[in-house]
Structure 1
Amino acid sequence: MSDSGRKLERLVEAVERQFVADGFSVEVRKREYDEEGRQSAEFDVVVSGRLGSTTVSWLIECRDRPSEGPAPSSWIEQLVGRRGRFNFNKVTAVSTTGFASAATRYAQEQGIELRTVDALDEDEIQNWFKVSNLQLFSHKGEFSKAEIRLEDPIQLEVKDLAKAAVQEAGASTKILKDRHGNEMSVLDAWTHTLNQNPHMFAGVSPVGDPEFRRLFVSFKEPEDQYVITTEAGDATVVGIVFEAKLAVEVREVPISEATRYSLVESGEALAESIRFDVEVRGQPFELGVHRLVQDGRTFIAVRGSSKAATSS
């Protein structure tokens, strides 16, 4: 499936999660296997759970093929077959290009629910979303010097060997170990420090030059400390002094897409959604802002894109 098709699935999943009752699951790209363990089918979105004393299963299939025009009746025929073969209680077809008249008639005859996802322009979302760009702040830090502070008291031989190891090592040399035994470099420790301490960037202007700062990072808790292993024993690292340049960058991310998710038969709009495609540390993500039309509730869903999890 194309990347746009995956985006459609994720949009439907995000919205349907807000509608389902507690105890129901919403799964994307659910795979079905035969008795011999071979994959026999893959479903776009499956909603399932207990209703009273029984279990219900709802299949939602998505179609995003702009070059092929309205969804044909042959697709509805396939969904009717899937409903019977895999025992779904309900099947819904979602299309970004509408449905051919024959497909609409056949769906009504067979009880296949039809829904559409249509593009909106910015004027149509101004009543609830008044910005056209997302401001993305990125914290960046580059250290030029690091001083390792060791626990005191410490045996002189261990101290000397640990200091020698630090002096000989490069920034990427894994001379440290955390309390779980994972080997790490000073650069790894710096990256971890940046990720865990955003307050270090307080006062750094996004419009000015990078700021030079001398930062003492203290590892007070034993679980936060590192050790340097030497021939004479382990030296505990209780702090690192970094000399570094810190910068804050701001990027304007435009709206990638605005859509409305609707029922075909009644024309009722279920949700309006806005998607931003953002990149964080080289990884692509989708940030979706969704508004449920019925009650006006708005929620945010963040997902790694198909090139790269959801929170709300």
Structure 2
Amino acid sequence: MAKAGRALEELVATLETLLSDSLVEIKSPDRIRGKTGGGLREVDVSLRTRVGSANILVIMECRDRSDPQTVEWIDAIAGKQEEVGANKAVAVSRSGFTSHARAQAQAKGIELRTIGEVDRASVWDWLGVAVVTARVNNLMEMKSAQIIIPDSVSTEANSEALSIVSGAASDALILVKTSDGTPASVLDVWRAAPQSDLLSSLRPGETKRGTVHLLPSDPGQWFAIPITDDTVPITEVVIVADFRVDERNVPIARFEYLGDDGPLIEGASAEFSHEGSTVKMVIHSAPDGSMFLVVEQPDGADLSFEANLVLGVIDNDEDSTPAEQ
């Protein structure tokens, strides 16, 4: 389970990446060996670069609390800065700082950052839209599935693979992820693969039965059938199912990433959740006027703010062997 405040740390790391050049290495979180005791100290965000022959380390600590942060937190950050030998420390608080904390930060040379909410009415002036449409792709009921095995697979391996997948349920862990060997099911393939034109053509609330060919967007992040002492690759999975698409309007919130001298970067975000998965879209405007879109979506989430990468339905490969499930 992610620790409280992790979302703020990830946001800060993203904002600092946009503000930094390509020579700055940014990690979140990072573990740095302390000067005393030799133990590792965790920092929320670290930035490393070189100036001439000198290595420069900046650490950033983040807090997503409801009350302004106090001098005690500033002192703790100053102590951590000294312990890890950082050249600079930055404190980021979504709720701001007390006046004593600001004075102590100035005395200790610690820079302060806040995430400031901006009037929602200004979102339209900034982006030209105040809401975005969230799209949820639902597989209502799977009727059948074919797992396609290349003809290059040996007869013995093909036979063993067929015996594993034949008649298995859609949620049975008959596959593995090629990236790390994690057990997976046909439903996991559905969640991971780019969605089909069939789904993009559905009207919100409409249910339709159709055939979808699931192919990898990245061959290194695909699936295989585990057999004795090996795995059998698969080229695609063909499913027949009832599908439905739901849509909802999600309001956009605008924010500013503020330093002591004013805004460093502006942004707008929208997020929605469905069945335990959350997708977040963030638009960032850099000081030079350029804009960046970042979409954060967990693996296996059938959610999007716009159509997922679309790959049209194609015919079965005549040189492949279908493995009926």
The answer on whether the counterparts of 1:60 and 1:94 sit within 8 Å (CA) in structure 2 is: yes
Alpha carbons 2:146, 2:239 under 8 Å: kept: yes
In 2, Cα distance between the equivalents of 1:297 and 1:263? 19
Matched with 2:126 is 128
What TM-score results when the alignment is normalised by the length of structure 1?
A: 0.69
2:252 counterpart of 1:259: no
1:63 corresponding residue in structure 2: 63
Q: Which residue of 2 aligns with 1:290?
A: 284
1:247 aligns with 2:240: no
The one of 275, 292, 296 equivalent to 1:299 is: 292
Name the structure 1 match of 2:25. Answer: 25
Structure (1 or 2) with the larger CA radius of gyration = 1
Q: In 2 relative to 1, CA 54–252 (structure 1 residues): closer, same or farther, beyond 3 Å? A: same
Residue 106 to residue 278, structure 1, CA distance change in 2 (3 Å): same
User: What amino acid is the match of 2:113?
Assistant: R
Q: What corresponds to 2:94 in structure 1?
A: 96
Mapped partners of 2:226, 2:274: distance in 1 = 32
Q: Is 1:275 matched up with 2:269?
A: yes
- The 1:90–1:7 alpha-carbon spacing in structure 2 relative to 1, beyond 3 Å, is same
1:253–1:278 Cα contact (<8 Å) kept: yes
**C-alpha offsets along residues 3-52 of structure 1, whole Å, 9 cap, x if unaligned?**
3x32222221111101222221111222234587744x221211111122
SS in 1 for 2:90: strand
State the SS of the aligned residue for 2:28: strand
- Taking the aligned partners of 1:239 and 1:76, their CA distance within structure 2 comes to 54
**1:198 correspondence with 2:219:** no
Q: Distance in 2 between matches of 1:81 and 1:160?
A: 63
Q: Which amino acid aligns with 2:277?
A: Q
Residue matched to 2:154: none
CA distance in 1, matches of 2:160, 2:88: 70
Shift of 1:171: 4.6
Q: Which residues of structure 2 form unaligned runs of 5+?
A: 152-157, 302-325
Correspondence 1:122-161 to 2 at 5 A:
122-141=120-139, 142-146=141-145
2:47 maps to amino acid = V
* Code of the aligned partner of 1:18: L
> Which residue does 1:42 correspond to in 2?
42
Count of residue pairs brought into register by the alignment: 290
Aligned to 1:296, the other structure's residue is in SS state: coil
Higher RCO (CA < 8 A, seq sep 6+): 2
Worse overlay, 28-37 or 235-244? 235-244
Query: Quick one: distance in 1 between partners of 2:235 and 2:83?
Result: 63
Q: 2:178, 2:108 → 1: CA distance? A: 61
Q: Deviations over 1:139-195 (max 9, x none)?
A: 33333245789999xxxxxx9999999875555567789999x8999xx44763675
Give the secondary-structure state (helix, strand or coil) at the position aligned to 2:44.
strand
Instruction: Give the structure with the larger helix fraction.
Output: 1
Q: Post-superposition shift, 1:136?
A: 2.1
User: Could you list the per-position Cα deviations for residues 278-307 of structure 1 after superposition, in whole angstroms to 9, with x for gaps in the alignment?
Assistant: 336743343322222x222211223468xx
Q: Structure 1 pair 170/36, CA: closer, same or farther in 2 (3 Å)?
A: same
| CA–CA separation in structure 2 for the residues paired with 1:238 and 1:117 | 46
Moved more, 138-147 or 93-102: 138-147
d(CA) in 2 for partners of 1:52, 1:147: 59
3-state DSSP of counterpart to 1:205? coil
Report the alpha carbon displacement of residue 86 of structure 1 after superposing the two structures with TM. Answer: 1.9
Aligned residue for 1:210?
Answer: 207
Give the RMSD, CA atoms, in angstroms.
4.7
Measured against aligned partners, the alpha-carbon deviations of 1:240-286 in whole angstroms (never above 9, x if no partner) come to 7754323222233333x43211122x2x2111222323336743343
Q: What are structure 1's unaligned runs of at least 5 residues?
A: 153-158, 230-234
Task: Determine whether 1:105 maps to 2:103.
Answer: yes
Shift of 1:53: 1.5
Change (3 A) 1:16 1:212: same
The amino acid of 2:242's aligned partner reads K
Deviation at residue 78 of structure 1 after TM alignment? 2.6
Q: Percent identity?
A: 25
SS at match of 2:127: coil
